[in-house]
Amino acid sequence: MKKIVGYATGVFDLFHIGHLNILKQAKAECDYLIVGVTTDELAEKIKGRRPIAPLRERMEIVRSLKCVDRVVPQKEIDEIKDYQKLKFNLIFKGDDWKGTEKWSKLERYFTDKNVKVVYFPYTKTTSSRAIRKFIQESRG
């Protein structure tokens, strides 16, 4: 029987329960979970700021989770190249991307490759943005 390989990506800065929920949900859907952790440079390009924890530390945190089988650095946002390199059967994404032009196109591409896009809801009670805001406000 063929193993089902899943792929999820994220910055995973200020690791919190929302991150853990997504990775546990992803692992429940596949036999082997690969997680791409966004590099410091790419995170800065996307979000306009570098993560608080450096890539090496964020990768070690994610790697230590029993639900994660492999960790790779995510150096660019190119899900097609990721697929060509990693050959996953499932790709996981937050549900806020569902229906966007980019992910609708990717769904069509992946359907032709027998790859399923699985959307997960974000944990609304906790986010890196909320944690960062709280820290900034508590500093006065």
The alpha carbon of residue 78 and the mean position of all alpha carbons in its chain are separated, in whole angstroms, by 13
Residue 125 lies in domain: 5-138
The pLDDT tens digits for 14-28 are 898 889 999 999 999
Total count of domains within the chain: 1
CA 35/CA 42 separation, integer angstroms: 16
The pLDDT tens digits for 55-114 are 999 999 999 999 999 999 999 999 999 999 999 999 999 888 899 999 999 999 999 999
CA 34/CA 131 separation, integer angstroms: 26
Contacts of 43 (CB under 8 A, 6+ apart): 11, 13, 49, 50, 51
Query: Residue 31 is part of a domain; what is its CATH number?
Result: 3.40.50.620
3-state secondary structure of 7: strand
